[in-house]
Structure 1
Amino acid sequence: MTQRLRRPSGRYAGKAADERRAERRRRFLDAALELFGAGPGYRATTVAALCESAGLSTRQFYEEFRSLEDVLSELHLEVNAWAESAVVEALTDTAQLPFAERYGRVFRAYAASIAEDPRRIRITFTEIVGVSPRMDEQRLTRRARWVELIRAEAAAAVRRGEAADRDYRIAAAAFIGSVNGLLHDWAAGWVDASLEEVVDELVRLLLALLRPDG
């Protein structure tokens, strides 16, 4: 009877199988971040090229991922998770600050997380666009999460008397659309401005969105 192959489960070089697998997965993701975000891009990268960059085999790749699209998907979610963590931390740290200073810092925390590594901007706003229906759905689902975060924060600002009492769903969607569109165009080289100038303009837009009438 033929036995099915099993993943190694013991320790090797002082590391458990799960630790070694996590390290391999990280190496694939780091290699993909470089190739997708700074190199030829997602569409021009092959599994073989990714494996060569990661220093791993195609067999190891297919033990971790079904396709390159899975790698892109994980990178996109990871970059968004880092940015969301930075925003939540900034909201907590600025809870007692005046309106304009608070929301300026919060958005700049988001921008700093995304811009910490230029490859993150390209992954989030360029490489994922138009890849497949699955990736489009993931991108829009993640965008909806950002819209809801802004809408909820706007509602909290209304309760504190810092924002006009109205429905912010459309305004939040418009702002997130502006963020995605402007950063996409900036990353593609279509906007003649520094990233700092782009962020400053988006901060002004966010403050105008939330500022009470008068």
Structure 2
Amino acid sequence: MSNTTRWAGVSLSDRRTERRALLIAAAYDLLGTDLLGHDPSALSVRALCRASGLNSRYFYESFADVDELLGELYDEVAADLAGVVAAAIECAGRSVRSRTAAGIRAVLGHAGDDPRRGAILFTHARANPVLAARRVATEELLMSSVLAETVRLHQDRTSRPRADQVGAVMFAGAMAELARQWLGGHLGSDLDVVVDAATAFVLRSAPART
């Protein structure tokens, strides 16, 4: 399909939006599979343009460089996961156990349903500087969410802000590693078993309250 035919009848603004989406989708596919040999540094403007069917002019119409595109891709995938987790916890009832299990299951299940998600959020984010910085920001948001949930669930008990903060930090780091190990196939294939074990560990490790 020629570019003339492809964009016929489409407004300039909509064309730009669609081209931007095509480039992000191309990055999603390239990073989320082994097409780059699991090396995010191999992602280039040329590779993205080839995969999206666009020329480099259209890449620079939307992004200053590959790093900017990577950041936006990570943000989109992370926001999607956050929405899934929030919805799962909201539907889980009021008990600490059910809400904890729902959150863990949502992270592992959603990331595992599409290997590209897990690769971007938990695998490449360890090696690529741009994704690593985004991962730190995401973990900080997770820590804040865990703290808020802890306060909400235990508002009638003795306040222990420092212990709660330490617990949130440990949970955020452990959750990222749990996801990476699950996606790598190192924890078996039974999601229920992993969720139950992780939930039990989190609850045992929670700071005691009176």
- TM-score, structure 2 normalization: 0.81
**Structure 1 partner of 2:105:** 108
State the Cα RMSD in Å.
Answer: 2.5
Alignment of 1:35-50 (within 5 A): 35-38=30-33, 39-40=35-36, 41=38, 42-50=40-48
Percent of residue pairs bearing the same amino acid type: 28
Higher relative contact order (CA 8 A, sep 6+): 2
Of Structure 1 and Structure 2, the greater helix share is in 2
Q: Give, in angstroms, the shift of residue 143 of structure 1.
A: 0.7
Are the equivalent residues in 2 in contact too, given 1:100–1:207 (CA < 8 A)? yes
**Structure 2 partner of 1:159:** 155
**Structure 2 partner of 1:86:** 84
The amino acid of 2:80's aligned partner reads: W
Output the CA distance in 1 between the equivalents of 2:125 and 2:187.
Answer: 23
Q: Give, in angstroms, the shift of residue 90 of structure 1.
A: 2.5
Are the equivalent residues in 1 in contact too, given 2:97–2:199 (CA < 8 A)? no
Q: Give, in angstroms, the shift of residue 193 of structure 1.
A: 2.0
Unaligned runs of 5+ in 2: 1-6
Structure 1 residue runs of 4 or more that deviate by more than 6 Å after TM superposition: none
Change (3 A) 1:177 1:171: same
Q: Give, in angstroms, the shift of residue 213 of structure 1.
A: 6.3
- CA-to-partner distance for each residue in 1:29-73, whole Å, 9 max, x for gaps? 111111111122422232211111111111111111122222221
- CA-to-partner distance for each residue in 1:13-35, whole Å, 9 max, x for gaps? 34322222111111111111111
Output the CA distance in 2 between the equivalents of 1:198 and 1:50.
Answer: 36
Output the CA distance in 2 between the equivalents of 1:184 and 1:204.
Answer: 19
Are the equivalent residues in 2 in contact too, given 1:128–1:135 (CA < 8 A)? yes
Out of 115, 119, 127, the position equivalent to 2:116 is 119
Output the CA distance in 2 between the equivalents of 1:212 and 1:170.
Answer: 13
1:175 aligns with 2:171: yes
Alignment of 1:1-214 (within 5 A): 13-38=8-33, 39-40=35-36, 41=38, 42-94=40-92, 96-132=93-129, 134-159=130-155, 165-166=159-160, 167-188=163-184, 191-194=186-189, 196=191, 197-210=193-206
Output the CA distance in 1 between the equivalents of 2:8 and 2:134.
Answer: 38
Unaligned runs of 5+ in 1: 1-11
Are the equivalent residues in 1 in contact too, given 2:108–2:179 (CA < 8 A)? no
Output the CA distance in 1 between the equivalents of 2:184 and 2:106.
Answer: 22
- CA-to-partner distance for each residue in 1:130-160, whole Å, 9 max, x for gaps? 322x543322121111011001101111125
**Structure 2 partner of 1:4:** none
Change (3 A) 1:99 1:171: closer
Output the CA distance in 2 between the equivalents of 1:80 and 1:204.
Answer: 26
Are the equivalent residues in 1 in contact too, given 2:32–2:115 (CA < 8 A)? yes
- TM-score, structure 1 normalization: 0.80
